[in-house]
A and B are shown apart, each in its own frame.
Chain A
Amino acid sequence: EPEVTQTPSHQVTQMGQEVILRCVPISNHLYFYWYRQILGQKVEFLVSFYNNEISEKSEIFDDQFSVERPDGSNFTLKIRSTKLEDSAMYFCASSEFGGRNAGELFFGEGSRLTVL
């Protein structure tokens, strides 16, 4: 069964460092998302991406965050200068359909980011 894969599974970084989290969505999916979850609690929307551009972003997704689809398979989340409060589990998700035909999201296993 096709799945969303994420790397790394865990990254520890120093405050102020840049971090790139990588995701390989399901191959025929066209809509991509990043969510984050702090301490196993609420899952918060960060950004959605379609047709090589951001569709929507939340208040959390400030200028320190960026997303990119550098090739036909990867979807990356970059945090330019990490803060302590960026420590969380980051989930990538993809969906085959969007808009009025939108269905369920398929999630990766997550990348745990620890900022020291």
Chain B
Amino acid sequence: AQSVAQPEDQVNVAEGNPLTVKCTYSVSGNPYLFWYVQYPNRGLQFLLKYITGDNLVKGSYGFEAEFNKSQTSFHLKKPSALVSDSALYFCAVRDRDDKIIFGKGTRLHILP
């Protein structure tokens, strides 16, 4: 079965510093990977996806993610964090049956 793992429950980063939110995946075949963000009391918003092509994927709000096949990782990154980036971030994979499976989420705190 397809799955993703987010090893960190929480990540704290000072404003202006680069941020990384980690995700590893386990899939059979080619992975379809996603990052979503959830702000307090809101639904999930799509950030970016990897289907095929360039390993560095650019998304909304200045976020990007790097697909690494050898390490089976799809870490979310941003060069300079903003306080407004504080939210819950979900890595996800689309499985063979078409549904998206989410990781447990990582809470990102950007410290002013």
B-binding residues in A (CB < 8 A): 4, 31, 33, 35, 40-45, 48, 50, 55-56, 91, 93, 98-99, 102-110
Contact = CB atoms under 8 A, between A and B. Distances in A.
B43 interface: yes
Interface of B: 32, 34, 36, 42-46, 49, 51, 88, 90, 94, 97-105
B43 A41 contact: no
18 contacts: A35-B102, A40-B88, A43-B44, A44-B102, A45-B99, A45-B100, A50-B98, A55-B97, A56-B97, A56-B98, A56-B99, A93-B44, A98-B98, A102-B94, A103-B49, A104-B49, A105-B46, A106-B46
Q: Is the interface of B mostly helix, strand, loop or mixed?
A: strand
A110 B98 CA distance: 21
A105 B104 contact: no
B42 A109 contact: yes
Contacts of A43: 44, 90, 102, 105
Report which residue of A31, A35, A43, A98 has the largest number of chain B beta carbons within 10 angstroms of its beta carbon: A43
